[in-house]
Amino acid sequence: MRGIVSVAGYVPYRRLQRSAVAQVFGNGGGKGSRAVASHDEDTTTMGVEAARLALRAAPTVVPDGLWFATATPAYLDKTNATAIHAALRLPAEVPAFDFGGALRSGVGTVLNALSGDGSGTTLVVLADMRDGMPTSADESAGGDGGAALVVGEDSPGYPAIAEYLGGASLTDEFLDRWRTVGDRRSKTWEERFGESRYVALGEQAWASALKTSGVTAEEIDKVVVTGMHTRSTKALGRKLGVKPESLVDDLSATVGQTGSAHVGLMLASILEKSEPGQLVALVALADGADVLVFRTTPALADWSPSDSVADQIAGGADLPYGKFLTWRGMVTPEPPRRPEPQRVSSTAAWRNEDWKYGFVGSKDRSSEAVHLPPSRISMKGGAVDDMEPIGRADSVATIATYTIDHLAYSPSPPIVFAVLDFDGGGRFPVELTDVEPDSVEIGDRVTMTFRKLFTADGIHDYFWKAKPLRASAAD
């Protein structure tokens, strides 16, 4: 039996209330909110956070492969999955590959992992950032987020929480949505044409998937229809023949449509609320139609998400529309009158990979003193080259002191710097993120998060920041 061993969604902390758009421009926006990646986030960092949550809920799993899918990669030519690989501290023998460039890449990567030959466990990571011109439907309906699935064979060490029963995929070449290289915004064809193709393809794929999996529409307990073509997803949902109460909220009102990541985000949201023995189906519309059918297993009762999608949605904070436009590069405000940072050194980053990407310090074997960053010489006892590596990315820390800097260069000033004391040892000064400067207090508890410090000469400088330890993450 091949299926999902663990799954997690990642929803950024910030929210844009859609009503704020019309308050500025007089039109656009709508009801509800959308998730917004911070200025220091991109699809790679969101993929790291989703993967950390999925692996935290399955601590014994060491994946045999890492596949990363996104329609908005941080790099072209360079493999983005390698940064995720480094942040997770996976062995060099674990291959990491990108599957990107199209909205359908997300569901395609999941399907390929589920349809594998049964050898090994695959960590599938999905992430996307959806843009649109100010007041556009894409701006308000889109959303940012990530998801990760651990896919493998059911075994005593890696019990599957959802068995993959089968599915169906139909492909058709028609121009519905497109974005050429270098464009920020997508363009779309007339909606009625897309609806005429997607609904027919979805109905055919749905019937085929039910036959392949050996179930009927009436037996499906939970189903979601997802895709960027909202008109089609709503129309198809009415034609599936399932019980009305089986149709699941697609998070469009609270998170928005996260493109290539939405398949994984919805699977995480659904499985977090499911019970053993239920039938779950997902329909994805993008350049065709894909349907996946699962049956939850008894192992679901013992599985617990590290930070549920529902808790992340509830724990968000509003972002002013002006700040959103600034973060998206739609508006250029007056920058701090300080020199912009220089590009990072590729050789230096490689030499310090464990520290830079994995946040790995050193621990004196004799005195047990923890050094952040790692040191060859111990601060206690003077031992030289007698250290062992110690990871601090998953550690909780306490703010010992902090400062709010309005002068240092930042894409979103001010910068909040804090000196952190880590549980189990180690002290290090670090930047805080996802925080209101006026709310910071000495003694606050924080946890680490993988972020982007800045970009210079097209090179992203990834490192770790700290964010407040909120109730859902602390449980």
Q: What SS3 state is found at 2?
A: strand
Residue 147's pLDDT band (cuts 50, 70, 90): very high
| CA distance to 172, 202, 234, 265, 300, per residue, from 205 (Å) | 12, 5, 16, 21, 27
**Confidence (pLDDT) at 279:** 98
* pLDDT at residue number 472: 58
Which tens digit of pLDDT belongs to each residue from 421-442? Answer: 999 999 999 999 999 999 999 9
pLDDT at residue number 185: 86
Give me the mean pLDDT over the 280-308 stretch: 97
Q: Residues 328-343: what's their mean pLDDT?
A: 84
- Over the chain, what is the mean pLDDT? 94
Tokens of 41: 């986030």
For residue 411, the model assigns a pLDDT of 85
Say what percent of the chain tops pLDDT 70.
98
For 62-117, how does the pLDDT look when each residue is reduced to its tens digit (9 = 90+)? 999 999 999 999 999 999 999 999 999 999 999 999 998 899 999 999 999 998 76
pLDDT confidence bin for 410, thresholds 50/70/90: confident
CB–CB of 114/292 below 8 Å?
Answer: yes
Which residues touch 369 (CB under 8 Å, ≥6 apart)? 363, 378, 379, 380, 381, 425
Which residues, 6 or more positions from 414, have their beta carbon under 8 angstroms from its beta carbon?
Answer: 404, 405, 406, 437
DSSP codes joined into one string, 253-319 = TTT-B-GGGHHHHHHHHHHHT--TT-EEEEEEESSEEEEEEEEE-GGGGG---SS-HHHHHHT-EE-
| Confidence at 209, pLDDT banded by 50, 70, 90 | very high
pLDDT-above-90 percentage for the chain = 87
pLDDT given at position 158:
85
105-121 pLDDT tens trace: 999 999 999 987 666 89
User: Does 475 have pLDDT greater than 60?
Assistant: no
pLDDT at 309: 98
pLDDT at 135: 95
For residue 474, pLDDT beyond 60:
no
Residue 408: predicted pLDDT: 86
- Each residue of 252-280: pLDDT tens digit? 999 999 999 999 999 999 999 999 999 99
153-157, 275-279, 344-348: range with lowest mean pLDDT: 153-157
Burial of 42 (0-12, 13-18, 19+ CB in 10 A): buried
pLDDT tens per residue across span 240-250: 999 999 999 99
pLDDT of residue 334: 81
Asked if pLDDT for residue 416 goes beyond 80, the answer is: yes
Instruction: Convert the pLDDT of each residue in 250-259 to its tens digit.
Output: 999 999 999 9
Domains of the chain by range and CATH?
2-327 (3.40.47.10), 346-474 (no CATH)
* pLDDT for the residue 177: 93
List pLDDT tens digits, range 320-331: 999 999 999 999
pLDDT band at 338, cuts 50/70/90? confident
Give the pLDDT band of residue 457 (cuts 50, 70, 90): very high
* Neighbour-count burial for 116-148, b at 16+ CB within 10 Å, e otherwise: beeeebbbbbbbbbbbbebeeebbbbbbbbbbb
| CA–CA distances in Å: residue 379 to residues 10, 235, 395 | 38, 66, 21
Helix (H, G, I), strand (E, B) or coil at 365: coil
